[in-house]
Amino acid sequence: MTDHQKLICVNCPMGCTLDVTVDGETVVDVSGNTCKRGTEYAQAEISDPRRMVASTVKVQGGIHPLVPVYTETAFPKPRIFNLLAQLREVELKAPVAAGQIVLKDVLGTGVDVLASRDLPAA
């Protein structure tokens, strides 16, 4: 039983609108893309959509109360809010170093969350 989904590809700023025919979790056809990265994007979006996620975590004793963090690799989109809930529980102690691992293999996804910048102690 096939279904149609419209997606906008974000691999490059062009933003082609893709018409994706799916059968369950399988991509049957992709049209509207200008390059083959569009097809790959459609595949990934249907079977395993992922996003780079950026947020902040609390810091004790630093020059700011929060330090920005980011996922080192793309994180499964359906579980983003679980990730954010995890991040809310974190409290680091200053100083924090850029690239420092804040959460390793978060929620068993294999994705690490790193600090985006140095945060010196107050």
* Residue ranges in contact with other proteins by CB under 8 A: 8, 10, 13-15, 34, 51-58, 63-66, 68, 70, 77, 80, 84, 88, 98, 116-118
Torsion of CA 48, 51, 56, 58, to 10 degrees: 10
Nearer CB in complex with other proteins: 56/109: 56
Nearer CB in complex with other proteins: 4/77: 77
CB of 47 to other proteins, least distance (A): 17
Nearer CB in complex with other proteins: 24/65: 65
Dig out the tokens for 79 from the structure.
């579980």
- Check if the beta carbon of residue 68 is closer than 8 Å to that of residue 55: yes
CB of 96 to other proteins, least distance (A): 11
DSSP assignments along 4-71, one per residue: EEEEE--SSTT-PEEEEEEETTEEEEEES-SSHHHHHHHHHHHH--EE--EEEEEEESBSSSEEEEEE
CB of 97 to other proteins, least distance (A): 10
CB of 48 to other proteins, least distance (A): 15
Nearer CB in complex with other proteins: 64/112: 64
- Check if the beta carbon of residue 103 is closer than 8 Å to that of residue 78: no
